[in-house]
Copies of this chain bind each other. A is one copy, B any other.
Amino acid sequence: MRRTKAEAEETRSNILSAAERLFYEKGVSNATLEDVAKAAGVTRGAIYWHFSNKTDLFLALYNSVQMPQEDMLAREIEEPGSDVLGNIEKLTVDWLDELASDEHRQRIFTILLRCDYSEDLMPVLERQQEVDDRHAALLENAFAKASSEGYLDANWTPRSATKALWWMMGGLCSEWLLFGRRFDLAAEGKDGLKRLFAGFRPVTIDMVGSAEVHSMT
């Protein structure tokens, strides 16, 4: 039953998809390698051939998903003179759209969210932290640029705006993923972001007219 290299690569990939489905459905630690093997149409022998153990399989799965478009974010910031806040907002909304339409990514993120990280999975947590930190730093740079150009309302600092956006995105996606996707992520997210970003932009005189003016109490 010796397979050609292409076939072997296919079973490897089959194992990975099966692992993704089962880790997602039963949780990483509740899914057994026997389950994964059966779902992939192979025996554990195949799994142990391609991966050294469950942790290794998990790490391979984790590495198989390419993380969000940092480069895009970085490039958007470079673009001079354009509407920086608008760019950030668009990028964020796009990211939500992608997540909403990519079940693969949904499952991976869900797995990452709700797996309990025992000691051997710590590298995953740490790498997640790294990526997050870099990402947040880029965001803060973008907001800093917006701020220096006068496009950030005085109420916000680059750092606070970054965090508000970050936390809102985190809460939004977590709730959506963990609680059965009970709402339209793209639509609701877009709406929420629109309002949040409206708050980021400086207030202009003509905006005040529409609101009732309250006297200070």
Q: Which of B118, B132, B155 contacts A27 (CB 8 A)?
A: B118
Q: Which of B154, B171, B204, B212 contacts A167 (CB 8 A)?
A: B171
Contacts of A28 in B (CB 8 A): 116
Number of interface residues of A (CB under 8 A): 52
Contacts of A206 in B (CB 8 A): 216
CB distance from A14 to the nearest CB of B (A): 23
Contacts of A207 in B (CB 8 A): 203
Q: Which of B29, B155, B192 contacts A164 (CB 8 A)?
A: B192
Q: In A198-217, which residues have CB < 8 Å from any B CB?
A: 198-199, 202-208, 210-214, 216
Q: Which residues of A contact B (CB under 8 A)?
A: 26-30, 113-118, 125, 129, 132, 150, 153-156, 160, 163-164, 166-172, 174-175, 179, 188, 191-192, 195-196, 198-199, 202-208, 210-214, 216
CB distance from A110 to the nearest CB of B (A): 10
Chain A interface mostly: helix
Given that A29-B27, A171-B168, A205-B208 are contacting pairs, would A198 and B155 also be in contact in the complex, using a CB cutoff of 8 Å? Answer: yes
User: Contact between B160 and A167 (Cβ–Cβ < 8 Å)?
Assistant: no
CA–CA, A195 to B143, complex, Å? 15
Contacts of A26 in B (CB 8 A): 116, 118
CB distance from A9 to the nearest CB of B (A): 29
A sample of 20 more A-B contacts (CB under 8 A), given A29-B30, A160-B195, A202-B211, is: A27-B116, A28-B116, A114-B116, A125-B179, A150-B212, A154-B211, A155-B195, A155-B199, A160-B191, A160-B192, A167-B172, A167-B192, A168-B171, A169-B171, A170-B175, A171-B174, A202-B212, A203-B208, A205-B213, A208-B208
